[in-house]
Amino acid sequence: MTLYAYFDYTLPDPSPVIGWIDTDFYNNTLPDFRDLLILTQEQWDAKLSDPSGWAVSSGVLAPYTPPIPLPQQAQTTLAEKLADGIAITSASLPGVNGTYALDPQSTAQIFQIGSFANSFGVFPSEDTLQLYPDIDSMLHEFSVPVFVAFLRGVASLVSDMQMQAGIMSQGGTPVWPTQARNII
């Protein structure tokens, strides 16, 4: 009986193990000998006790964690950055200064309220002032022009961040924008 780790020797180290062969149970022609690493019984048993991942590196069997695919890395990084929110500073209405959430629900709400205010000159409540919470749930009072400026700041930041995530997912180097905006 011979035990093998099957890998692609043409890949750079570490080359992930793509299969395990026990010649007592393998009735096919063996792959190219360069793609096979002979294992001891202890190594074979170790791969059974820790099936998370293995690779061949410099001719030795080693634990292996595959890299996270770039699109997944980009989305994770984007989500982490969005979780940090946006720091808003208003020259005309300093009472709105604060950090605001950018999770999908908050962003959608900002877009809905801001778009309504921009279109009709009042908030959905028909008032000219709107209370809106920052990331710590502290309420701030916005006027229509300041909320519309807030919407523009959020829209530009989220768009910039999504563009950088797209660059990252394609293997480029993102240049993440500063998560702060000065508004009117």
Domain ranges of the chain: 3-63, 70-183
pLDDT per residue of the chain (184 residues) written in tens, 0 to 9: 799 999 999 988 899 999 899 998 887 888 999 999 999 998 888 887 776 789 999 989 988 887 777 788 899 999 999 999 999 999 999 999 999 999 999 999 999 999 999 999 999 999 999 999 999 999 999 999 999 999 999 999 999 999 999 999 988 999 999 999 999 9
Prior bond to 177 cis, omega within 30?
Answer: no
| Separation between Cα atoms, residue 88 and residue 62, nearest integer Å | 49
Predicted TM-score (pTM) of this structure: 0.68
Eight-class DSSP state of 13: S
